[in-house]
Amino acid sequence: MQCSYFDAARCLSCTHMGQPYAEQLAAKELHCRTLLAAHSSLQWLPPVGSREAGFRNKAKMVVGGSVRSPTLGILDAEGRGVDLRECGVCSPGLQACLPAFAAFISQARLTPYDVPRRIGELKHLIVTESPDGELMLRLVLRSENLIGRIRRHLPSLLEALPQLKVVSVNLHPEHKAVLEGDREVVLTAQSTLRMRVNDLDLHLRPQSFFQTNTEMAAALYRQGSAWVSEVAPASVWDLYCGVGGFALHCADPSRDVVGVETSREAIASAELSSGDAGLQRVRFRSGDATAFAVATRPEPELVIVNPPRRGIGNDMCGWLESSTVQHVVYSSCNAKSLARDLAAMPSFTARRVRLLDMFPQTSHYEAMVLLERS
């Protein structure tokens, strides 16, 4: 894939841009094999490649420039806006809607936040597209001052973009390098975006996490579900469950499934999806995964973990070591923390691994490992 922004050094976020995709994928597998070299019993399944371009379902755009001429993209070293509306890794649907959002900023007179001078209101646009082409827009504001103006002009935006189903304002008053704040104000009647993944409808709320590559997320859940079906446990815990992707895909009339996640927004989404699917033996809990695991009995036969980049850590590894859990499905977005966590669980043997390329044009990837108690 070639990118004019990268070639002109306007955006260097995709560090592997221009490198043949087959080479990217081979390098990622070599990186993962090197980190997991201590596990000689591992069976390496063929890696799952992604589309090179147009794979992102979410655009996180910094708003710069002026009301008359806003930029949607990133900031340069001096804090000035760099427009990236035609970013090639974003889906065609995302690219198509960005001009309408830029026009809305001008129409509603939403003043872009000037980072160097710390003035202005609108910091970011966060846009998510579902597999059916529907959109969720989140406007990250410094304060509530523009909410009334956004409400007044919103009907014209919804008319221009009929596929726009959810619009919210996120309030982020602090001046720091964080994408969003804690408070969300939903402005539309619909508050969730339906994400159809495999045969399930997942419901995404504005502050819920979802993988940025829908096709790879679907492959990830299929692989996890296949391993769980093969092991056939009577009970499963999906820890760090997010909106419940793994838990919902592993549901079966013969087993109890519990998903645990700190985000209440994500748990609300998961419960909505479970209710829609009529799943009777799937439950979700909001709270810390380690605290839940330590305090809850009986322990499950299989645990799925899908942690953030820092991994599951010593406390969760220690609990798994001392538990009666027989199998673990570990989905990792950071093979370094994965290798560290596996070393901390010597009672388990890593049986199979599969690399899924969630993030083409970068060095990042997802690795899934099936562990069995020795």
Give me the active site residues, please: 333
Backbone torsion region of residue 279, taken as left when φ is above 0, otherwise alpha when ψ lies between -120 and 50, otherwise beta = beta
Cβ atoms of 289 and 316 closer than 8 Å: yes
**Chain mean position to CA 197:** 13
**CA R_g for the chain:** 22
What span, in angstroms and rounded, lies between the C-alpha atoms of 221 and 223? 5
The answer to whether the beta carbons of residues 46 and 54 sit under 8 Å apart is no
Alpha-carbon distance of 367 to 335, in angstroms, equals 7
Q: Which residues are paired to 44 by β-bridges?
A: 353
Q: Which residue has the tokens 């708003």?
A: 63
CA gap 222, 235 in Å, rounded? 18
* Cα distance between residue 36 and residue 338, in whole Å: 9
In the numeric block, which tokens belong to residue 147? 């909410």
Whether the CB-CB separation of 323 and 295 falls below 8 Å is answered with no
Tell me how far apart the alpha carbons of residues 177 and 186 are, in angstroms, rounded to a whole number: 23
Nearest to 206 by CA among 196, 195, 192, 194: 192
CA proximity to 237, closest of 221, 261, 219, 218? 261
Measured distance CA(52)–CA(49) in Å, rounded: 9
Compute the distance between CA of residue 186 and CA of residue 160 in angstroms, rounded to an integer. Answer: 19
